[in-house]
Amino acid sequence: MITVVGVGLEKGDLTQKGKKAVKEAACVFSRVKLWFKTEVLADKFPEVSDYAALDALIANEVVAAEKKYGNAVYCALGDGFTDSAVAEMAKISSVNVIAGVSEYRGRTPDSEAVFYSAYDISADTLIDTRIPLIVYGIDDKLIAGNLKLVLMDRYGDEAEAVFSSGKQQSVIRLYELDRMKSYKGGALFLSGQRSLTAKSRYGLSDLMEVMSRLTAPDGCPWDKAQTHESIRINMLEEAYEAVDAIDKKDLDNLREELGDVLLQAIFHCNISERTGEFTLCDTVSELVNKLVTRHTHIFGENKASDADSALGFWEQAKAKEKSYDSLSGQLDRLPDSFPALLKAAKAYKKSVKAGADLSKDAVLSRINAMLNKGVDKENAGGFLLLADFLATACGADGEAELNKRATEFIRDMKEAEAEGKLNRASEKL
């Protein structure tokens, strides 16, 4: 069994139990240099630039020693639980942790500060930049560099911070974080940026703060007055504009339009939170649960070899979750607000899957019969429905194809007008 011993920063910062384990060990390791003799593993792999890879190498080294000598100790700064290499060791061997007192306890310049281990912060970490932040476990230049990139994206390159290593403290700019002389138990303190107008980059927490401010009792009169119904159309408009940017391959515009779509989602959550219905956290929780339960080939025992099989598992999980036990149940769940062609295509696919005879030949036969009788106001809707069925049966997106043809028609009509040939417009169809 591997013994992990939590170690403090200064000489003597070691529990009696931890001291006994170190003394009796056949070999003693640590990630960084400590105040007593250990084999420093970070120095053993200087060429490794990936932190996860370094964790794996450290873990393998300690596990190999434990198998060879039967008694290996790994000393980790702090309580012994925050070193990410320990988690890697636990995957391949038994680990016993002798906890130490965190080396950062009592150092907090602000009682409201939020603590993060440097091992746990990534580009996906939601950091509330309004609240003072303390990051501990900055054990070497590699993790300092990774951390720097994450924090500069939230606070800016020039953001001022306090870096602590051992007994030394210094005021630095974030871009300097990987240029320190020593990382002995390195810790970083960033004061909260409470002024939104003073920031150059923002995160999700900032968006939530803005919405809360706008809808506060002393906030914006228009924003406070909105309901789900009053901003309903905005959701559709912003979604269409985002799709338009995708179709045009306009990534700059897509970035902006996706922000507008996100705003609508946040706005609706804000409205419901004020009325006591649900919160943004409720929405996110439900979304994460859906992604986990429907990806049974990732979080379950199913295996997906390609995109089609992955989609099949998703549909199976969805049907089970929604209790789709009949075609009627599935059709009842089609939103009334769907665009007509999309609604028709969805209904067609579900009906065919349930066994309805809607092959291309069958649909063409119905179209021909209707044409023989003549299309008028009374049956025009039926003709359009069958036309969309035919497009769907051919594997085409009726909505996209009609939009494409409509755009081409507009172009052709403009050309025909310029040429004075509007009377021959049918030739352009």
What CATH number does residue 259 fall under? 1.10.287.1080
Write the pLDDT tens digit of every residue in 121-159: 887 777 777 778 889 888 888 889 999 998 988 888 888
Asked if 34 and 93 sit in the same domain, the reply is yes
- Start-to-end C-alpha separation, the chain: 78
The angle, 0 to 180 degrees and rounded to 10, between the axes of the packed helices 251-274 and 204-214 is: 50
Q: Are strands 168-173 and 160-165 parallel, antiparallel or unpaired?
A: antiparallel
- Give me the pLDDT at residue 307, please: 93
- Give me the pLDDT at residue 320, please: 79
Domain membership of residue 94 as a residue range: 2-98
Asked if 6 and 78 sit in the same domain, the reply is yes
- Report how many domains make up the chain: 3
Q: State which amino acid sits at residue 180.
A: M
> Any idea how long the chain is?
429
Q: Using CB atoms within 10 Å of the CB of residue 398, give its burial: 0 to 12 exposed, 13 to 18 middle, 19+ buried.
A: buried
Structural domain includes residue 220:
yes
Asked if 162 and 179 sit in the same domain, the reply is yes
Asked if 44 and 72 sit in the same domain, the reply is yes
- Give me the pLDDT at residue 324, please: 63
- Give me the pLDDT at residue 112, please: 59
Structural domain includes residue 73:
yes
Out of 98, 129, 161, pick the residue that ends a domain: 98
Structural domain includes residue 50:
yes
Which parts of the chain sit beneath pLDDT 70? 9-10, 101-112, 193-195, 198-200, 323-325, 424-429
Structural domain includes residue 295:
no
Asked if 90 and 23 sit in the same domain, the reply is yes
Q: Give the C-alpha separation, 147 to 137, whole Å.
A: 11
What CATH number does residue 11 fall under? 3.40.1010.10
- Give me the pLDDT at residue 62, please: 96
Asked if 179 and 213 sit in the same domain, the reply is no
CA distances from 136 to 95, 98, 176, 181 (A): 23, 19, 17, 17
Asked if 7 and 85 sit in the same domain, the reply is yes
Q: Are strands 186-190 and 160-165 parallel, antiparallel or unpaired?
A: antiparallel
Q: How many CB atoms lie within 10 A of CB 52?
A: 12
Structural domain includes residue 147:
yes
Q: Which residues contact 74 (CB under 8 A, 6 or more apart)?
A: 2, 3, 4, 5, 28, 29, 30, 62, 83, 85, 86, 89
What CATH number does residue 155 fall under? 3.30.950.10
pTM to 2 decimal places: 0.53
Out of 278, 301, 335, pick the residue that ends a domain: 278
Structural domain includes residue 232:
yes
Structural domain includes residue 396:
no
Asked if 165 and 221 sit in the same domain, the reply is no
Out of 98, 125, 155, pick the residue that ends a domain: 98
Structural domain includes residue 252:
yes
Write the pLDDT tens digit of every residue in 28-61: 999 888 888 999 998 888 888 777 888 899 999 9
Query: Two tokens at 248?
Result: 């045009």
